[in-house]
Chains A and B, each alone.
Chain A
């Protein structure tokens, strides 16, 4: 069981988390969950996941960004790929997709728009894991 790929989901919406968990577990990933940003950072340190799925809007509108920045600053965790879930265009009118990979701006590795399609989620996860 130890060689299973570990994925950490940091998201405050329990229903979306559950749906993602089902999808990811169907592809034999080991899934752990954090309900907010602080817990997410703690869990990252504890579990050392292979990939993090991070929601943008949690306690605050851009909590996800703060979490991503904190993790990428730390040399122990900066290599863990982060897939960010965002529907942020709805509220801010900004389209972050163009900025993906620009570390100075937003330190995440890829984006996925909500609502999530199971196949898209699995594809992106696989792609990011291959890169590392």
Chain B
């Protein structure tokens, strides 16, 4: 499992390096052009362009290799690709340096970038090996040029006289260069190791938190279930009394018993909502199937119809005719939509209106529920889907809401890989939108 995560991580980083290399190809060509054309340095253009083309060529090959190994590649293969890339980069840069002045070329310090990239991409040991490889390459070029085994291409126009055979100069530059390489690798690998460790700790902590959250949810499920059983019994005993089945009560008795029954009902509603959201959280997979969207929507509207009629609220719905069956858990999606509709009815004043518009977005559908109700204060919008959160103006309209309806809807939509959002203006109304994959 860990290796898979690291492989994905590594692939992402290699992709980044491939992108950088395209920039490098362009950069190399621009530098060659400006050095030869504008600054009039004498450079062996042919080998330099060949190297630039080679750079582009192997970048393309790595890009293709990566797309192939992306799905099935093991960590070992991808790691090898990363190592090979860096070695080839070092060789290309060394060749470029050789054909453009060797030790006289200040671009030798660009090797430092490669060391930093190696430290980010590779293990600590591999990074130091790459540094050693660079140092050896560098010494090789400098030595061979010094003894005249390799030709020296002097950067005429940039420096006044040849430096490649000046022993003190080349020793000094080599010392500074090689020490800089190792120091850069040391620093970059230690930062990178610390970051990797932190990443691992974060990941472990995240797993632990998820596990704790699951334990908490199970606890909530058990407790609320037990509460619900007792409540059922209380309600079962109160209702016959409140309903006069056990005989007539005097007005005071009736009032108090009805109050008790009413409150029990509210508590039951709350406990049921709590059970519902906890159940969704704990369920590993929702049972998905294809179902007719429009039929499901009509049923959802039917649930809230009588309450809407009581307040003379008009409910209109339009469904784009191309929307037929969608895949999901019909019961849960219906519950999410019913919750939103019930909210709209609750927080829309008498004679208001609710519009439901469902549009086809190709791979998904967009359900928009618009009302001209009390709306949600702007500063409270980000918290509206939180569990138990109730907007201040909603509390004024209805004292006892559960604060769970919207979070249940959100959980359901997210379990379907959909999105839920709200736009609202206080006093004018709200639009709740759900985007669901088909």
Residues in chain A within 8 A of chain B (CB atoms): 13, 15-16, 18-20, 22-23, 26, 87, 90-91, 93, 95, 114-119
Contacts and interface: CB of A to CB of B under 8 A. Distances in A.
A115 B232 contact: yes
Interface in B55-97: none
A75 to B, nearest CB: 34
Contacts of A19: 233, 236-237, 239-240
Contact of B245 (A15, A18, A26): A26
Interface in B226-281: 228-229, 231-237, 239-240, 243, 245-246, 268, 275, 279
A13 B237 contact: no
B331 interface: yes
Contacts of A117: 239
Contacts of B3: none
A22 B240 contact: yes
A91 B243 contact: no
Contacts of A119: 243
Contacts of A93: 279, 283
B225 interface: yes
12 contacts: A15-B234, A15-B236, A19-B239, A19-B240, A22-B240, A90-B279, A93-B279, A95-B331, A114-B236, A116-B232, A117-B239, A118-B243
Nearest to A18: B237
A101 B205 CA distance: 49
Q: How large is the interface on B (under 10, 10 to 19, 20 to 34, 35 or more residues)?
A: 20 to 34
B240 A23 contact: yes
Contacts of B237: 15, 18-19
The majority secondary structure among interface residues of chain A is helix
Contact of A91 (B225, B236, B239, B268): B225
Contacts of A95: 331
B110 to A, nearest CB: 61
The majority secondary structure among interface residues of chain B is helix
Contact of B225 (A13, A16, A26, A90): A90
A16 to B, nearest CB: 5
Contact of A118 (B225, B239, B279): B239
Contacts of A20: 236
Given A13-B229, A16-B233, A22-B246, A118 B331 contact: no
Contacts of B233: 13, 15-16, 19
A90 B231 CA distance: 14
Interface in B15-34: none
B279 A87 contact: no
A13 B228 CA distance: 13
Contact of A87 (B228, B234, B240, B245): B228
B172 to A, nearest CB: 75
B435 to A, nearest CB: 25
Contacts of B243: 118-119
B245 A90 contact: no
A118 B240 contact: yes
Given A23-B245, A90-B225, A118-B245, A16 B236 contact: yes
A90 B282 CA distance: 12
Given A87-B229, A115-B268, A118-B245, 15 more contacts: A13-B233, A15-B233, A15-B237, A16-B232, A19-B233, A19-B237, A20-B236, A22-B245, A26-B245, A90-B228, A90-B275, A93-B279, A116-B235, A116-B236, A119-B243
Nearest to B272: A90
Nearest to B264: A115
A46 to B, nearest CB: 26
A16 B246 CA distance: 15
Contacts of A114: 232, 236
From A19, A22, A87, name the one whose CB has the most chain B CB atoms within 10 angstroms.
Answer: A19
From B243, B245, B275, B283, name the one whose CB has the most chain A CB atoms within 10 angstroms.
Answer: B245
